[in-house]
Amino acid sequence: MIRLDDGRTIPSILYYHRVAPDVPRPVGVTPEEFRSQMLFLRSNGMRGITLDEGLKNTGSSKKSCILTFDDGYLDNFEHAVPILEDLGFRATIFCVSDRLGTLTDWSDDSLWKGIPLMAKEEVRELAARGFEIGSHTRTHCDLGRLSATDPLQARREIFDSRTELEDVLGSPVTSFCYPYGGWTETAVQWVREAGYLQARSVHHARWGKTYDLFSLPCRPVSGKMPFWRFAWYVRLWNLGL
Ligand SMILES: [Zn+2]
């Protein structure tokens, strides 16, 4: 569980990128691995929920796990969503608003470059099916760096990505996620001002530490995480740790 500064607790947050057959280990898990992980959650009496839902129902933190996916990969729609829906789970997917329907272009690393992203139609359909669409900026910029070099542009990445996604969805976008986990105090302030209600970073939750709603910690899951370690985290959370 995650303890907030205001004394409330919310469910722990898992953080995924891709879910696809033959996916390179550092960037994701296979559908089979993903299914095993989700089944393990269910066999421990836990349900996968969106970040928005996790913040609203703070009373049942041990019985839920917040599932988040970064970047909005098309393979999430094709492979992860059917598994989640089979189990009655939902998740939050953080999309890069100016890159919907294109290929990833923010990294030169062949592991991350040229990967298909969901288009407006898929994003809209997922929202209609109970998934939450959150913002991951307009172009997947590093807000830690950009806030210092070009503050106006950084602010636009935060504000305009919300507007652009809301135009696609026709409903409010309330969750934000910092690409690369990069942020500054000013960037956090803009995230609040833009109207988001919560934001996830990439740092791990620490015992005994409390967190602000705009720098929520998480546990990243890739193909490099052995199943026993995934199971270990889930058991700890299930005990209320
Ligand atoms: Zn990202």
Residues with CB under 5 A from ligand 1 (ion): 70-71, 179
Which tokens is 116 given? Answer: 């298909």
**Global confidence as pTM:** 0.97
Q: Ligand 1 centroid vs 4 CA: distance in angstroms?
A: 24
Residue 241 has pLDDT above 90, yes or no: no
Domain coordinates in residue numbering, the chain: 2-238
Q: Report the separation in Å between the CA atom of 226 and the middle of ligand 1, taken as the mean of its atom positions.
A: 22
Mean pLDDT of 2-13: 93
Distance (angstroms) between ligand 1 centre and the Cα of 140 equals 6
Q: How remote is the CA of residue 179 from the centroid of ligand 1, in Å?
A: 5
Token output for 182: 């990069």
| Class of the CATH-defined domain 2-238 | alpha beta
For residue range 138-163, what is the model confidence (pLDDT) as tens digits?
999 999 999 999 999 999 999 999 99
Q: Report CA(239)–ligand 1 centroid distance (Å).
A: 30
Mean pLDDT on 88-105:
98
Distance 73 CA to ligand 1 centre (A): 10
Distance CA 34, CA 196 (A): 29
Strand partners, 213: none
* C-alpha closest to that of 227 among 36, 43, 42, 62: 36
